[in-house]
Amino acid sequence: MGIRIPKITENTNKGTCMETEEIKMKYPSGFELAVHMTKEEMEHHIRLMAALKMFELGKVSSGKAAEFAGMSRVEFLETCGRYHVSVFNYPAEEIEQELKKDLEVVRKMSSQ
């Protein structure tokens, strides 16, 4: 995979300018036909899949993942649901601790 990263300033759909960089990727000839997509559709899909996976792994926030995928945060979170990516990225231990705290609060409230 070859990578070329020039800095580019472009307008976003919100009318603001952001600096972007470009990644050039090599893939097998005809791959877009194998996945039944145009080159543009494949590029969008690869960006979306990368954004979803990086978000799922906790590497980026939902806002940064949405920006990378070229959509709003709300659209990205809806897309997470379609691809079965949890929007709650807590380690199991953290979830357990949070639930224990919540249950304790509920117990205190019901005993009053």
Would you kindly state where each structural domain of the chain is located, as residue ranges? 7-111
Torsion of the alpha carbons at 101, 104, 105 and 109, rounded to the nearest 10? 170
67-76 tens-digit pLDDT: 999 999 999 9
Six-digit token pair at 17? Answer: 């300018």
| pLDDT for the residue numbered 15 | 52
Residue 7 backbone class (left: φ over 0; alpha: ψ -120 to 50; beta: rest): beta
Q: What residues contact residue 89 under an 8 Å CB cut-off, 6+ apart?
A: 55, 56, 58
Overall pTM surpassing 0.85 (yes/no): no
Per-residue pLDDT of the chain (112 residues; tens, 9 = 90+): 454 444 445 555 555 566 888 888 899 999 999 999 999 999 999 999 999 999 999 899 999 999 999 999 999 999 999 999 998 876 777 778 878 888 888 888 888 7
SS3 assignment, position 10: strand
Backbone angles phi, psi at 45, to 5 degrees: -65, -40
